[in-house]
Amino acid sequence: MRIDVVTIFPDYLKVLDLSLVGRAADRGTLDLHVHDLRDHAHDRHRTVDDTPLGGGAGMVMKPDVWGEALDDVLAVDAPAERRQVLIIPTPSGEVFTQRTAEDLAGADSLVLACGRYEGIDTRVPEHYASRGIEVRELSIGDYVLNGGEAAAVVMIEAIARLLPGVLGNPESLVEESHGAAGLLEYPVYTRPTRWRDLEVDPVLLSGDHARIARTRRDQAIARTVSRRPDMIANLDAAHLDREDRAMLATMGWAVPVGAGRPVPVRIRAATDSDAEALADLAARTFPDACEHVIAPEFIAKHVTTNLVPGLFRTWAADDRVDLVVAELLAPLPSSQASSGTEPIGASAGPDLVGYAAVLREEPDAAGELPRGIDPRPACVQSRHGQVVGELSKVYIDSSMRGSGLTPALMSTVMQQAAGHGVNLFWLGTHVTNKRAQKAYKRAGFRQAGTRTYNVGGQDAHDVVMIRRTGEGL
C-alpha cells in the first residue's frame, strides 16, 4: 500500500519512523511519503490560508493551494480497479473505528490531507469526489485538535498494522480490542505471577486451554459491559454461544429469540408491586413445563388456584422466600413477544420476562412453613445442620429462551438463598421436560429420585434433583 500525507508540518510525521510503520516502510512493505503543502504556495510568504468568506473567527486553508498539492499525489486517471482514498481528518467527519481501519486497509493507496486552523475549504473534497475520487472525512473522536496531523498518525497506525507483514506476529490481531468479536480485549498479565500482593487468576496457570479461553472470554465480556455498553448493544447475536449469553445475562444483557442484538435486562428482588405482573408471567410460562402431558383444563385450574397475585405478594413479604425477577428495560418488537399476549414492553407495569424462587424449609412463630412450599420428597435426605430450600420456580418467557436468563436467574436466587443459610437445594420438574433437566444439570443439580405432583387435580410425575452448596455454581 502507498500512503501519502500532505501537511504544513512534515516533521510531525517523523514519529512514524519510530514505530512498526517505519520499519514496514524501510522493508518496502509500506510505501510512505510525506509532502509539504507550502511547496505549492507561490507567494513570498508561502501563504496557505485566508479569512473565511462571510466573516467569522480563524482562518481557512486555501483551495487553490490544496488543489495543486493533491493533483500531484492523486492519480485521477487511475484504473477503476485500483482503489485510492482521499482522507481528510476533521472533527466534523464520520467516526473512525476499527471497522473503518479494516475497510481502508483494503485500499491500494491513501492520501491524507492534514488541515489546520478552521479547516480546508469545503470545495476541495467536493471537487475530488466529483472527479471520481473516494473521499472520506473522518474524526478520531468528539474533541478538537490543532490540526489533522495527530489524527493522521492515529489512522495510519491503525490501518498499517492490519497490512500483511507489518506486525511480527499476525495472531496479535485475533483477539485484540475492537476486533471482529465486537468486545474489548481481556486483561493481560505476565511474570511475576505475584506482584505487590496482587495475584493472577490461577486458571491462567492451569494449562487448561479451554478453561483459559472461557475465562478470557468472560473477562472480555465483563470489561466491555463495564466500559463500553454501547458495544454490547451492537454485538452480533449469531456469534454468541450459550456461555456468552449466560455471562451477558448475569451482567444485565439478554438476547431474545430471533433478535440480532442483546437487550438490557435487570435481575432484582421482587416487590409487592410486582405481584400482578408475576401472576401474568406465571400464567404464560407454567404451561411450558407440562403442556404436552397435562390436560389444559388442569393446567388452567392450577394457575388460577395457585399462581395468583396473592401468592407473590406473600412471597415478596416473607423473609424465608428468595424471589427474584428479570425485568426487561427496553421494549421488544411485537414479533418477538409471546404469541397471543400483549407485546412485552407495551404495558404500564414492570416488563417481567422471568422469575425464580427458593422457599426455605423453616417454620414461622406459628409453626407454619412458607405458603406454597411443597412437601419434601423422601429421596431428599438432609444431613445434620443443613438448611433445605426448594427451588420452587424458575421460569422465563418464551421470547427469552436461550437468552442466558435461566442460569442467571438460578445463580442469583441460589446465591441469595445460600446467604440466608440454605445449603441443600431440591426441585421437581416433569419427567418429560428434558430441556429443564439439562439446564438444572448444567447448574450442578443431580437426580435424586422421583415424586408424584398434583397439577389442578391431575397427577404429574416429576424428576427430583438436588444440589448442595459447594457443588455446581
Q: Which CATH number does the domain housing residue 27 bear?
A: 3.40.1280.10
- The single residue listed with the C-alpha cell 431428599 is 380
Q: Which domain holds residue 396?
A: 264-468
- Smallest CA-to-CA distance from 388 within 313, 303, 464 is with 464
Continuous H helices in 194-322: 209-227, 229-232, 242-250, 275-285, 287-290, 296-306, 309-317
Residue 369: half-sphere exposure toward Cβ, Cα within 13 Å: 13
CA angle 138, 5, 161 (to 5 degrees): 70
Q: What is the DSSP string of 42-68?
A: -STT---EEPPTT--SS-EE-HHHHHH
3-state secondary structure of 33: strand
Residue that finishes a domain, picked among 150, 173, 196: 173
Query: Residue 37 in contact with residue 8, Cβ under 8 Å?
Result: yes
Give me the pLDDT at residue 176, please. Answer: 58
Same domain membership, residue 452 and residue 316: yes
- 406-463 pLDDT tens trace: 999 999 999 999 999 999 999 999 999 998 999 999 999 999 999 999 999 999 999 9
Region 366-383: mean pLDDT is: 96
Residue that finishes a domain, picked among 153, 173, 193: 173
Flag whether 108 is in a domain. Answer: yes
pLDDT greater than 80 at residue 473: no
Same domain membership, residue 293 and residue 160: no
Give me the pLDDT at residue 349, please. Answer: 62
State the total domains in the chain: 2
pLDDT greater than 50 at residue 340: no
Q: How confident is the model at residue 76 (pLDDT cuts 50, 70, 90)?
A: low
- 182-195 pLDDT tens trace: 899 899 999 999 99
- 122-170 pLDDT tens trace: 999 999 999 999 999 999 999 999 999 999 999 999 999 999 878 755 5
Question: Grid coordinates standing for 471?
Answer: 457443588
Same domain membership, residue 148 and residue 272: no
Angle between helices 309-317 and 275-285 (to 10 degrees): 120
Flag whether 464 is in a domain. Answer: yes
Same domain membership, residue 166 and residue 272: no
Give me the pLDDT at residue 342, please. Answer: 47
Question: What does the mean pLDDT of the chain come to?
Answer: 91
- 246-264 pLDDT tens trace: 999 999 999 999 899 999 9
As a whole number of angstroms, the distance between CA 420 and CA 440 comes to 21
Give me the pLDDT at residue 333, please. Answer: 57
**Strands 263-269 and 253-254, bridge-based pairing:** antiparallel
Residue that finishes a domain, picked among 129, 154, 173: 173
3-state secondary structure of 108: coil
Flag whether 210 is in a domain. Answer: no
Flag whether 381 is in a domain. Answer: yes
- 29-70 pLDDT tens trace: 899 999 999 999 999 999 999 999 999 999 999 999 999 999
pLDDT greater than 70 at residue 77: no
Measured CA distances, 108 to 66, 80, 203, 435 (Å):
22, 11, 44, 53
Flag whether 361 is in a domain. Answer: yes
Give me the pLDDT at residue 292, please. Answer: 79
Same domain membership, residue 271 and residue 168: no
Evaluate the CA torsion angle 93, 99, 101, 107 in order and state its sign.
Answer: negative
Give me the pLDDT at residue 336, please. Answer: 52
Same domain membership, residue 272 and residue 169: no
pTM value is: 0.80
Flag whether 250 is in a domain. Answer: no
Region 186-212: mean pLDDT is: 94
pLDDT greater than 60 at residue 346: no
Q: How confident is the model at residue 469 (pLDDT cuts 50, 70, 90)?
A: confident
Question: Grid coordinates standing for 190?
Answer: 505476565
Give me the pLDDT at residue 331, please. Answer: 80
Question: Grid coordinates standing for 444?
Answer: 450442578
Give me the pLDDT at residue 168, please. Answer: 59
Amino acid at 88: I
Query: Residue 131 in contact with residue 92, Cβ under 8 Å?
Result: no
Same domain membership, residue 287 and residue 143: no
Q: How confident is the model at residue 79 (pLDDT cuts 50, 70, 90)?
A: confident
Q: How far apart are the first and last CA of the chain?
A: 52
Phi, psi angles (nearest 5°) of residue 18 = -85, -5
Flag whether 392 is in a domain. Answer: yes
As a whole number of angstroms, the distance between CA 323 and CA 390 comes to 12
**Strands 198-199 and 194-195, bridge-based pairing:** antiparallel
As a whole number of angstroms, the distance between CA 151 and CA 14 comes to 14
Q: How many CB atoms lie within 10 A of CB 251?
A: 21
Q: How confident is the model at residue 395 (pLDDT cuts 50, 70, 90)?
A: very high
Same domain membership, residue 270 and residue 169: no
Same domain membership, residue 70 and residue 169: yes
Flag whether 244 is in a domain. Answer: no
- 321-338 pLDDT tens trace: 999 999 999 887 555 554
Region 268-294: mean pLDDT is: 92
CATH number at residue 369: 3.40.630.30
